[in-house]
Amino acid sequence: MKFNLLVSEGPYTHQASDTAYQFAAAALAQGHEVTRVFFYHDGVYNATKLTEPPQDDRHIVNRWSALKASNNVDLVVCVAAALRRGIKDEVLAPGFRISGLGQLVDGGIKADRTVTFGD
């Protein structure tokens, strides 16, 4: 099965990002495909390399980058939401790219299911 994911909450303010990452990792481990993860609203904070959690905490941004590196999952950040929050190309963590809402629609067309995490 092919999944398209939508993450609309920040990495440390809500469980949505952790749950989305765990869902993606589990789906890939079961042989499914995660074609795209689209970060929208406060979800764009998952993409900034400026995130520095305490050493004893999980680093959600690095987890997403590693998922891209190991499984070639397309990590797309909504351009409008990112710019409203001061996130530009130069602060993106490895593996993320900025694009428009059309990528969310395209992912939904190509996937069997779109799963939403957050509001």
Residues paired with 78 in a beta bridge = 99
Residues paired with 97 in a beta bridge = 76
Q: CA 106 to CA 101: how far, in whole Å?
A: 9
Q: Any idea how long the chain is? A: 119
Label residues 54-85 b or e (16+ Cβ within 10 Å = b). eeeeebbbebbbebbeeeebbbbbbbebbeeb
Pick the catalytic residue: 24, 34, 47, 78? 78
Residue 78 annotated as catalytic:
yes
Active site residues: 78
